[in-house]
């Protein structure tokens, strides 16, 4: 997908970059004297370590607490090194928010610095590019061909509403800047976008003009960029697809690159998703009906296939429907997710029909002369064979170092998915990141458990990497109050759930006695819904807006509304423990409903616990507690985002003071000055710093 970038830069002696970075970040350095930015010792220390990593092609794991200014600490060394060495600098992050901050703010600061400092002006012309997946781009060549097919009575690929959609896409593509689907409102119909996006062999330098095709233009810009910005999901998708330089060649994604992964606390989870299997009933059905849809009598085979070919697709659709229906309605009749322990848990009635479709596609390719259609059909054949191999491997449990499970999803639970994940993702990450003979930096505000990052280092396979922890410069002792409830009942399913009544009472009381916005973090969607039902009327009565994950708005829209309300209440789980950056009174209280232990019954958690047991370890101490500590610190980190922020953290889980392991959570608090309270003494104990 991406071409090679040769290393033709002038060699520099090791130490040159470190010296240059030191002159920028030290007290009285360029950042302070030229741009007027505060000198941050933690930022300077991180920047020097990053420069050393890049210059020596070594790996570094660095935790940089909120307020350290980690983006500049890796961007400035990275740009300097990229320009000097003519090597691409890859920056990967998890959230769109951070990507936008880097592109719209931090890179502009870098450019401003380079322009104004004598001797650094030549670095000011660095080039950047945003890398998104091929399937996100509109290919104007494929769009033009689709429009021709839509007008042809012979092909009959597109029904009327899809023809109208193609015309809308044509109008949009003539006026838009990047041709990325995210620019299109409302989004394109999936069936139509499949026919026009750049994720096809027919979108190539041979067929497409870079001055017209959005993807080819973006690819050309990417090849000339110093800084390439990507997200973790795409990074690991490309790595698992085999994109990295082959053999012993240096580089993680592009030839001779060096890499920073920010928000690196999410790396193990995202890598686990991409190094496993994921095949759904929806994706298989959609791929088959792109070839031929028996209901509408349309598809690619309509023009080029015989009745034999159409019958083969129809039989595959029927087999797919029966295969996934059996799993969903029989095997998953009692629960929406189930781990698979033994091979051949169901009859493999789908692989044969998929193979037959692949063979029919190969036969059609041999008969036709249209190179564009040949490329399209070859892509479909590869997809059919991939589905066949993946489903075969899943049913046979071919990957014995993976956990396998099936699940029902979608709004009505009608989508059935086959999934697997590696029991231990460290070997794959070691190969993908730390064995590539190049500088690799993983950074986040929370990589450690508050004491060290041994657990994280082992989890990502970075055992040989240097580690560094730079604490937040914020004054938590002055600006943050912590309250720990000592009387919370433990969850008792089937016993009336008094714990939910307790949570509802405490959350309404704490929010009512706090003038700013409150973020309430749950570990369970069920708990969130139950507390919402119990508290919704109260918040309406006191005229405080309540925003809840899973109701109406998307995550980004929900967070925006909460921030604008200034005194709202936001209920969230999972992703709301991290990635929310709201300074000031709009988020000045974080309420943690329960300590964030992972669900031990999920197939991945269950299998990993068994794996640790088999090695003689202790799953609770070795896996569950370390992961919970990191998530706990992430949740508390939503509170203080700027030097002037003030607020309170309320922990409504008494296990932190009643269980032996609670001591580790106490040690992870940003300040040891905390107060205990309960329902009886809360009036006298609970004081919000914002009210002082």
The per-residue pLDDT for 518 is 97
C-alpha to C-alpha distance for 424 and 545, rounded to whole angstroms: 43
pTM of the model: 0.89
Q: Which two tokens stand for residue 573?
A: 């789980």
C-alpha to C-alpha distance for 347 and 354, rounded to whole angstroms: 15
The per-residue pLDDT for 494 is 59
Among the listed residues 298, 50, 287, the one whose alpha carbon sits nearest the alpha carbon of residue 160: 298
How many residues make up the chain in this entry?
692
Within 13 Å and on the Cβ side, how many CA atoms surround 666?
A: 17
Among the listed residues 615, 634, 530, the one whose alpha carbon sits nearest the alpha carbon of residue 577: 634
Give the alpha-carbon dihedral of 263, 265, 270, 272, to 10 degrees.
160
Within 13 Å and on the Cβ side, how many CA atoms surround 678?
A: 7
Helix H or strand E encompassing 130 = strand 128-130
Q: Which two tokens stand for residue 358?
A: 């692949």
Q: Residue 476, Cβ neighbours under 10 Å: how many?
A: 20
DSSP string, 548-565: ETTSSS-HHHHHHHHHHH
The per-residue pLDDT for 442 is 98
Rg (Cα) of the chain, in Å, rounded? 27
Name the DSSP letter for residue 677: E
Which residues are bridge partners to 589 per DSSP?
518, 648
The per-residue pLDDT for 153 is 63
DSSP string, 5-58: ----SPP--TTHHHHHHHHHHSTTSHHHHTS-PPP-HHHHHHHHHHHHHHHHT-
Which residues are bridge partners to 416 per DSSP?
408
**Nearest 5°: CA angle at 625, between 621 and 626?**
100
Within 13 Å and on the Cβ side, how many CA atoms surround 638?
A: 29
C-alpha to C-alpha distance for 76 and 88, rounded to whole angstroms: 14
Which residues are bridge partners to 676 per DSSP?
484
Burial (Cβ within 10 Å: 0-12, 13-18, ≥19) of residue 240 = middle
The per-residue pLDDT for 11 is 40
Helix (H, G, I), strand (E, B) or coil at 180: strand
The per-residue pLDDT for 5 is 26
Name the DSSP letter for residue 134: G
Among the listed residues 328, 288, 336, the one whose alpha carbon sits nearest the alpha carbon of residue 309: 288
Where would I find the H helices in 439-554?
454-459, 476-479, 498-512, 525-541
String of b and e for 146-165 (b: at least 16 CB within 10 Å)? Answer: bbebbeeeebebbeeebbeb
Burial (Cβ within 10 Å: 0-12, 13-18, ≥19) of residue 261 = buried
C-alpha to C-alpha distance for 319 and 308, rounded to whole angstroms: 16
**Nearest 5°: CA angle at 483, between 478 and 489?**
170
Burial (Cβ within 10 Å: 0-12, 13-18, ≥19) of residue 622 = middle
Measured N-to-C along each axis, helices 351-367 and 371-396 cross at an angle, to the nearest 10 degrees, of 160
Identify whether the C-beta of residue 474 lies closer than 8 Å to the C-beta of residue 66.
Answer: yes
Among the listed residues 499, 655, 491, 646, the one whose alpha carbon sits nearest the alpha carbon of residue 584: 646
Which residues are bridge partners to 130 per DSSP?
229
First-to-last alpha carbon distance for the chain, in angstroms, is 58
The per-residue pLDDT for 486 is 96
Q: Is the four-CA dihedral 225, 227, 231, 235 of positive or negative sign? A: positive
The per-residue pLDDT for 364 is 95
Whether the upstream peptide bond of residue 186 has omega within 30° of 0, thus cis, is yes
The per-residue pLDDT for 97 is 81
What stretches in the chain show pLDDT beneath 50? 1-12, 689-692
Identify whether the C-beta of residue 266 lies closer than 8 Å to the C-beta of residue 256.
Answer: no
Burial (Cβ within 10 Å: 0-12, 13-18, ≥19) of residue 108 = exposed
Among the listed residues 224, 151, 195, the one whose alpha carbon sits nearest the alpha carbon of residue 2: 224
Identify whether the C-beta of residue 416 lies closer than 8 Å to the C-beta of residue 446.
Answer: no
The per-residue pLDDT for 3 is 26
Helix H or strand E encompassing 427 = helix 426-429
Identify whether the C-beta of residue 688 lies closer than 8 Å to the C-beta of residue 648.
Answer: yes
String of b and e for 57-80 (b: at least 16 CB within 10 Å)? Answer: ebbbbbbbbbbbbbbbbbbbbbbb
C-alpha to C-alpha distance for 575 and 360, rounded to whole angstroms: 44
Which residues are bridge partners to 138 per DSSP?
197
C-alpha to C-alpha distance for 361 and 384, rounded to whole angstroms: 10
């Amino acid at each position: 997908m991406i071409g090679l970038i040769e290393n033709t830069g002038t060699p520099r002696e090791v130490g040159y970059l470190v010296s240059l970075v030191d002159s920028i970040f030290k007290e009285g350095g360029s950042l302070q004297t030229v741009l007027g930015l505060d000198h941050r010792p933690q930022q300077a220390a991180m920047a020097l370590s990053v420069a050393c990593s890049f210059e020596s092609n070594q790996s570094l794991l660095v935790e940089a607490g909120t307020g350290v200014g980690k983006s500049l600490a890796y961007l400035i060394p990275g740009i300097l090194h990229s320009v000097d060495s003519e090597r691409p600098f890859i920056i990967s992050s998890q959230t769109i928010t951070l990507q936008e901050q880097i592109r719209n703010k931090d890179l502009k600061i870098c450019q401003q610095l380079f322009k104004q400092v004598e001797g650094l002006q030549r670095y000011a012309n660095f080039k950047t590019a945003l890398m998104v997946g091929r399937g996100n781009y509109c290919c104007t060549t494929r769009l033009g061909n689709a429009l021709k097919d839509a007008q042809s009575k012979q092909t009959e690929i597109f029904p009327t509403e899809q023809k109208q959609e193609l015309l809308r896409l044509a109008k949009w593509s003539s006026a838009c800047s990047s041709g990325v689907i995210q620019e299109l409102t409302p989004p394109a119909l999936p069936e139509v976008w499949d026919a026009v996006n750049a994720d096809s062999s027919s979108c190539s330098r041979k067929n497409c003009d870079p001055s017209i095709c959005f993807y080819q233009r973006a690819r050309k810009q990417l090849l000339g960029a110093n800084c390439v910005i990507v997200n973790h999901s795409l990074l690991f998708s490309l790595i698992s697809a085999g994109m990295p330089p082959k053999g012993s060649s240096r580089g993680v994604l592009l030839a001779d690159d060096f890499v920073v992964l920010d928000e690196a606390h999410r790396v193990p989870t995202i890598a686990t998703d991409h190094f496993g299997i994921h095949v759904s009933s929806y994706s298989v059905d959609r791929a088959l009906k792109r070839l031929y849809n028996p209901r509408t009598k349309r598809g690619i085979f309509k023009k080029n296939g015989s009745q034999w070919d159409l019958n083969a697709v129809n039989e595959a659709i029927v087999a797919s429907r029966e295969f996934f229906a059996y799993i969903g309605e029989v095997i998953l009749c009692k629960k929406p997710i189930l781990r698979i322990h033994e091979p051949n848990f169901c009859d493999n009635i789908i692989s044969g029909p998929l193979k037959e479709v692949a063979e029919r596609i190969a036969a059609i390719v041999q008969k036709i002369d249209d190179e564009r259609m040949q490329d399209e059909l070859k892509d479909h054949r590869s997809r059919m064979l991939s589905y066949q191999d993946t489903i075969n491997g899943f049913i046979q449990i071919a990957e014995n170092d993976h956990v396998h499970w099936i699940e029902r999803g979608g709004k009505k639970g009608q989508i059935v998915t086959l999934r697997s994940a590696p029991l231990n993702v460290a070997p794959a990450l070691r190969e993908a990141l730390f064995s590539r003979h190049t500088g690799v930096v993983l950074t986040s505000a929370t990589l450690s458990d508050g004491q060290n990052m041994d657990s994280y280092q082992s989890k990502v396979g970075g055992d040989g990497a240097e580690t560094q922890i730079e604490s937040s410069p914020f004054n938590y002792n002055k600006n943050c109050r912590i309250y720990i409830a000592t009387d919370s009942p433990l969850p008792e399913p089937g016993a009336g759930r008094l714990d939910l009544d307790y949570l509802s009472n405490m959350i309404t009381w704490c929010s009512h006695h706090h003038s700013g916005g409150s973020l309430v973090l749950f570990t369970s969607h069920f708990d969130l819904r139950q507390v919402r039902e119990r508290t919704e009327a109260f918040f309406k009565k006191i005229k405080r807006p309540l925003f809840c994950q899973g109701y109406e708005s998307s995550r980004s829209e929900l967070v925006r509304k909460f921030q604008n309300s200034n005194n709202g209440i936001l209920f969230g789980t999972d992703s709301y423990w991290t990635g929310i950056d709201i300074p000031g009174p709009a988020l000045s209280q974080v309420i943690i409903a329960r300590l964030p232990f992972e669900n031990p019954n999920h197939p991945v958690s269950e299998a990993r616990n068994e794996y640790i047991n088999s090695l003689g370890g202790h799953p609770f101490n070795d896996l569950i507690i370390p992961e919970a500590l990191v998530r706990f610190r992430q949740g508390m980190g939503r509170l203080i985002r700027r030097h002037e922020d003030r607020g309170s953290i309320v922990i409504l889980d008494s296990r932190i003071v009643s269980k032996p392991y609670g001591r580790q959570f106490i040690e992870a608090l940003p300040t040891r000055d905390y107060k205990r309270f309960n329902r009886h003494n809360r009036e006298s104990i609970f004081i919000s710093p914002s009210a002082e």
